[in-house]
Amino acid sequence: MLSRASLFRLTQRSVAAAGAIGTIIAWRALKIAPRRPRLEHMTFDLPPDHAKLDGIRIGFITDTHIGPTFRPTDLQPAIALLVAQSPDLILMGGDFASESPRYAGQAAVALSPLAAAARLGAIAVLGNHDMECGPDKVTAAFTAVGVRVLRNEALPIETGQGTLWIAGIDEVTHSSHAAEKAFQNIPASAATLALWHEPDFAEHAANLGAFAQLSGHTHGGQIRFPFVGPLVLPRFGRRYIMGHYTVGEMQLYVSRGSGVYRPPVRLRCPPEVTLITLRRTPRG
């Protein structure tokens, strides 16, 4: 049986060890994890009448949050992961800058290599933080580097293997989103991919005829504990948190995002960029 003095020393050592482990975990969550992105691979099944689009590859990046705590240099590993894949098309899901409009230009310049790397160019929608930074300023900054910003509108992409429509819908928190307006000029038989910052309105895009949707906004929670999951999730990002979902007949993918926001840490939820491959639907 341990003496009282031995028990006291053992307790002290246990507390010190726990404190050291906690410090290491906190340091990694703040300094290391936010800057070690992963490349995630995803496949979307095409509508049966659009098998010609088989093999088209789409790079997706979202929630970069360039600002005081996440700099353009911090984003470079994520950019490099996607550029190395030589995607056909780049889609960007919003929340590019945070805290101040002065970061809009920095975010656009940091992401511009992606537009140059994709033969079909780059398309973006705005997120709630972009609205706070000034939607016109963010749109102008991205337009200047060759990224087309869609605001409740759709764009046909001639891929060389058929036409893929991208429906870009304004974010919901601060703006007048109008999904119906975005879809109004799309042919009923088109292959349409919805790009919408918040994922929780996926049913709406599905009802309007999208075969797939890409979203961000949630960051996957940023901080996830075993058996608990994410501690905090944003409004309009609490139903579909991260990864792949089936919503009616539509496929939804929610990215964990490439940057960080308050607090600027990641725990058990690494940042990501995503490569989506379009595949023909197997006939039964």
pLDDT in tens, 108-134: 999 999 999 999 999 999 999 999 999
The C-alpha atoms of residue 278 and residue 182 are separated, in whole angstroms, by 22
| Residue that has been written with the tokens 């307790």 in this structure | 11
Average pLDDT over residues 244-248: 98
* Average per-residue pLDDT for the chain: 91
Each residue's pLDDT tens digit, 248-274: 999 999 999 999 999 999 999 999 999
Q: Torsions phi, psi of 54, nearest 5?
A: -55, 130
Each residue's pLDDT tens digit, 178-236: 899 999 999 999 999 999 999 999 999 999 999 999 999 999 999 999 988 998 999 99
Q: Which residues are CB-contacts of 141 (< 8 A; sequence separation ≥ 6)?
A: 104, 105, 107, 108
Q: What is the DSSP letter of 131?
A: H
- The answer to whether the bond into 263 is cis (omega within 30° of 0) is yes
Q: Model-level pTM greater than 0.85? A: yes
pLDDT over 80 at 19, yes or no = no
Confidence (pLDDT) at 273 = 98
Query: Which of 8-12, 37-41, 212-216 has the least mean pLDDT?
Result: 8-12
The C-alpha atoms of residue 162 and residue 70 are separated, in whole angstroms, by 39
